[in-house]
Amino acid sequence: MTRDSDRPDHRVGDVLRVSCAWTAARVTAVSGFHVSVEWPWNEADPDSRYEWNGQFGLPLDPDAGEWSLFRTECDPRTLRPGDTCLVGIPETLVRVVDVGRYEPPLDTGRLPRPHTLLIVLPAGHPRDRDGDEGDTIELRSAAPLVIDRVPHPGSPRR
């Protein structure tokens, strides 16, 4: 259910409004840094050279150094293996800091294989000198992402 995400012209510096509907997922593990859930959207790629286990790790402390667009609706520190939680992206403004285009599509172990990856940081976050890498948006993702470009005052229309 992407809007802007099929457009090939995303560029570094674009500001995007991103969201993903909350979807139920089962918690499979909790460590000191991550909560792992059965990822509700992708499926394993049988032709991949990587063996994806169907799980996805999210930061246990969303305010710590590791940042993720995807979150649990409840405080992830309250979750235990076997719990069910909601996973999604609350409406978030991000800034594109890098764009990767892949032909053939990138082998990640999951389907669909992405053609374009956007590396993003929160819109108000300056690029960290210590190598803050942000998070990745896979365009044409299996997750029901909604991505809209936020127009800049005075910028030309594309």
Spatial contact of 51 and 109, defined as CB atoms under 8 Å apart: yes
pLDDT of residue 155: 57
Helix (H, G, I), strand (E, B) or coil at 77: helix
| pLDDT tens string 47-57 | 999 999 999 99
Helix (H, G, I), strand (E, B) or coil at 118: strand
Does 114 sit behind a cis peptide bond, omega within 30 degrees of 0 on the bond before it? no
- Determine the residue type at 108: T
CA distance 65 to 91: 20
Average pLDDT value for residue range 24-38? 96
Give the Å distances, CA to CA, from 157 to 16, 76, 147. Answer: 15, 40, 17
Spatial contact of 137 and 7, defined as CB atoms under 8 Å apart: no
- Sole residue written with tokens 């012209």: 9
pLDDT of residue 149: 94
* 107 token code pair: 């082998």
| pLDDT tens string 67-122 | 899 999 999 999 999 999 999 999 999 999 999 999 999 999 999 999 999 999 99
* 135 token code pair: 């998070």
pLDDT of residue 61: 84
